[in-house]
Structure 1
Amino acid sequence: MKTYRKHLLAALSALALGATAPGAHAQATDQNAPPPRHGMQHEKLTPEQRAQFRAQRIAKLHDALKITPAQESTWTAFVNAMQPPAHAQHDRAAWARLTAPERMAKMIEMQKQRTAALEQRQGALNTFYSTLSAEQKKTFDEKASHFGHGRGMHHGGWRHLG
C-alpha cells in the first residue's frame, strides 16, 4: 500500500509540474518581450556596419550639440581623434618565443602607446570642449557620460553617444 501511495504521489507531482510548464514556456516565448541582451551585440557586426553605426552616432551627437560653423573645425578634429585605432595583427609565434620579462616589457610598451593615444584624444577633447557654450557642454556631458566604460573608449569611444 505504501509503495502504491509513493507512486501515486510521484505521478501527481509529475503531472503538476508538467501542467505548469506550458505557462512558463508561454512566458518565456512572449513575442512582445524585448529580445534578451547578451553582452556586446556589436561584436557580430562587420567592420562596415560598425563604421556605419559610429557615423550615425556621431551625426546624432552633432545634431544634439547644434554645432555652429565656428565650432566645425574643432568638432572635426575631435571626431578624427576619437576614431578607433587600427587593429595591429600580432605575431603569436614571435610572442610565444619571448621570455616572461620580455613579454612584460612589451606589454608595458603597448600600454605606453595606449596612454599616449588617450592623451592625444584628451587634447582634442579639451580643445573642442572649450569652444562649446554652457548649454552645449551640458548636452555633451550627458551624452558622453559613458566614455571609458566597458570597451567604449578603448575601441573608439562612441558606443553610448547619440
Structure 2
Amino acid sequence: MKNLIRKAALPLALSLAMFAGASIAQSTAPASAMPASTAPAATKTHAQRRADEVEQQITSLHTKLGITDAQSSQWDAYAQAMRDNAQKTGEAFKERAQKMSAMNADEVMKSYAELAQLHADNMQKLSSAFSTLYAALSPEQKQTADDLFRNRPMHHPSARGHKGSKPASASSTASAPST
C-alpha cells in the first residue's frame, strides 16, 4: 500500500515542484504595474497572492536592473510574459486539481506531461522576451542580470525568500525565471 501511495504521489510532487519553479521564475516590472489590492492577505485567493508575488518579483528585478525609459518596451514584454505564464500555470493547476479525484493513473500521468509541456512552452516565451531585453541592456545591467540569474535558485525554497535554506549551485540556477 505504501508503495502505491508513493507511486501516485510522485507525479503530484513533481507537479508542485514545477509550479513552484515556474512561479519563481516570473520576476519583474515597474511599480506602476502593480495591481491595487485592497483585500487583506488572509482573504486573498491563491491566485491573487500568486499575482501579488509575481508583481513583487517584477518590481524587484526592474529596480535591480535599473531599467531605463528607453528599455521600457523590451521590459514590458518580459514582464507581461511572466504575468501570462503565471496566470496560465495557475489555471492549469487549478483545472487539474478539480479533475484529480476523477482521474485514473493514466490520466494523472498525461496531465503531468501536459503541465511539463506548458512549463517548457512558458520558458521558451520567457526566454525569448528576456533575450530581447538582455540585448537592450547596458554592459553594467548585463553584469547585474548575469549575477542575479546565475545565483538565483529556481527550484529551491530560498528562491522564495525562506530563511535557513542554502543557495543552489550555479549550474542549477542558470535558467533564472521559469514560467
Give the TM bin, normalised by the shorter chain.
Answer: 0.5 to 0.7
Alignment of 1:119-134 (within 5 A): 119-134=124-139
Quick one: which amino acid aligns to residue 74 of structure 1? Q
Counterpart of 1:150 (choices 149, 156, 161) is 156
Counterpart residue number, 1:23: none
Counterpart residue number, 2:110: 105
Name the TM-score, length of structure 2 as normaliser.
0.49
Structure 1 residue 80 displacement after superposition: 1.3
What is the aligned-residue RMSD (CA, Å)? 3.3
Counterpart residue number, 1:24: none
Counterpart residue number, 1:68: 68
Distance 2:80 2:114 in 1: 24
**Percent of matched pairs sharing the same residue:** 28
Gaps in structure 2 of 5+ consecutive residues: 1-40, 161-176
Structure 1 residue 58 displacement after superposition: 3.3
Name the TM-score, length of structure 1 as normaliser.
0.54
Aligned partner of residue 86 in structure 2, secondary structure: coil
Quick one: which amino acid aligns to residue 104 of structure 2? T
Structure 1 residue 59 displacement after superposition: 3.3
Quick one: which amino acid aligns to residue 76 of structure 2? T
Task: Go from structure 1 to structure 2 and tell me whether the alpha carbon gap of 1:54 and 1:102 turns closer, same or farther (over 3 Å shift).
Answer: closer
Distance 2:73 2:117 in 1: 29
Alignment of 1:1-162 (within 5 A): 46=44, 51=51, 54-83=54-83, 85-86=86-87, 87-88=90-91, 89-90=94-95, 94-144=99-149, 145-146=151-152, 148-150=154-156, 152=159, 157=177
Counterpart residue number, 1:13: none
Quick one: which amino acid aligns to residue 71 of structure 2? Q
- Cα deviations by residue, 1:48-85 (Å, 9 ceiling, x for unpaired): 66655654553343233232222110011111112262
- Cα deviations by residue, 1:117-139 (Å, 9 ceiling, x for unpaired): 11111111111111112111111
Distance 1:66 1:112 in 2: 33
Mapped contact 2:96–2:111 kept (Cα < 8 A): no
Aligned partner of residue 136 in structure 1, secondary structure: helix
